[in-house]
């Protein structure tokens, strides 16, 4: 058996197909790598070395090449995030509008420190750099979607997310 088939894929057949799809989405297969890794991050809320290795096989790239990309980009994490990954901007405009107070509020409401996951796996939160919503400071997003300016009410409502 070749080294290639010796590794059991950490992905489901549908996921394998989706990843293959990214190798054909652009004129050169490597151009699909960041999008493919975004999918893995979405599915698993993290990217494990095994997952990165399999993505490498699909793209025909060495593990280290893929792992370097995983570790470079803030969207990719090698430890789990919550199902709802909450980002609070602490860029300058948001800092001026009290992002530090809202960080404390997130910690209190969700009951975990930054980058930690709630026991039910539902939430994690982290400070993020400018989210491009400086007029809605301090800007809050969930899974890459802007929610608006963080307030105690908005943060309390996060708990209702399903």
Partner 1 sequence: MTKILTKHFDEPKLHELETYKRLDGYKGLAKALTMTPADVTAEVLKSNLRGLGGAGFPTGAKWGTVPPPDKVPGPRYVVVNADESEPGCYKDRVLLTRAPHQLIEGLLIASHAIGAKESFIFVRGEYQNQYDIVEKALKEADDAGLTKTCSIKLMRGAGAYISGLDTALLETMEGKKAWPRQPPPFPTVAGLMAKPTVVNNVETLSMLPFILREGGEAFAKIGSPKNGGTVVFSVSGHVEKEGIYEVPMGSKLRDVLELAGGVRKGHKLKAVIPGGTSMPPLLEKDLDLTLDFDAIRAAGTFLGAGGMIVLDETADAVEVAHNIERFLTHESCGQCTPCREGSFWSEEILERILDGKGTAEDMPNLTRMGENITGKVICALGDTVGVIARTWQQKFPEDFKKRIPHGQAS
CB distance 101 to 68 below 8 Å: no
Burial of 5 (0-12, 13-18, 19+ CB in 10 A): exposed
Q: Which of 37, 51, 106, 140 binds partner 1 (CB under 8 A)?
A: 37
Q: Which of 55, 89, 106, 149 binds ligand FES (CB under 6 A)?
A: 89
What phi and psi values does residue 2 have, to the nearest 5 degrees? -75, 160
**150 touches ligand FES by CB under 6 A:** no
Residue 42, both tokens:
């979405």
Q: Which of 1, 5, 72, 160 binds partner 1 (CB under 8 A)?
A: 72
Interface with ligand FES by CB under 6 A: which range of 22-30, 35-43, 75-83, 134-142? Answer: 134-142
Query: Quick one: DSSP state of residue 79?
Result: S
Interface with ligand FES by CB under 6 A: which range of 29-37, 46-54, 68-76, 124-132? Answer: 124-132
Count of residues of this chain found to bind ligand FES when the rule CB under 6 A is applied: 12
Spatial separation of the C-alpha atoms in residues 143 and 110, rounded to whole Å: 16
Find where tokens 């470079």 sit: 72
Q: Which of residues 93-112 bind partner 1 (CB under 8 A)?
A: 93, 95-96
Q: For residue 31, how far is the Cα from the chain centroid? A: 19
List contacts with ligand FES (CB under 6 A).
89, 91-94, 130-134, 137, 139
């Amino acid at each position: 058996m070749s080294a290639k088939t010796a590794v059991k894929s950490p992905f489901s057949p549908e996921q394998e197909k989706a990843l293959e799809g990214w190798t054909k989405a652009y004129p050169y297969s490597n151009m699909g790598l960041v999008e493919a890794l975004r999918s893995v991050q979405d599915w698993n809320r993290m990217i494990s070395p095994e997952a990165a290795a399999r993505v490498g096989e699909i793209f025909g790239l060495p593990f280290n090449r893929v792992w370097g990309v995983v570790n470079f980009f803030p969207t990719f994490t090698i430890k789990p995030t919550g199902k709802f990954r909450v980002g609070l901007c602490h860029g300058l405009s948001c800092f001026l509008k009290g992002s530090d107070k809202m960080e404390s509020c997130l910690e209190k409401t969700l009951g975990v420190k930054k980058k930690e996951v709630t026991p039910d796996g539902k939430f994690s939160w982290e400070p993020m750099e400018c989210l491009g919503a400086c007029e809605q400071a301090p800007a809050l997003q969930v899974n890459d979607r802007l929610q608006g300016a963080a307030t105690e009410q908005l943060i309390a409502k996060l708990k209702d997310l399903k």
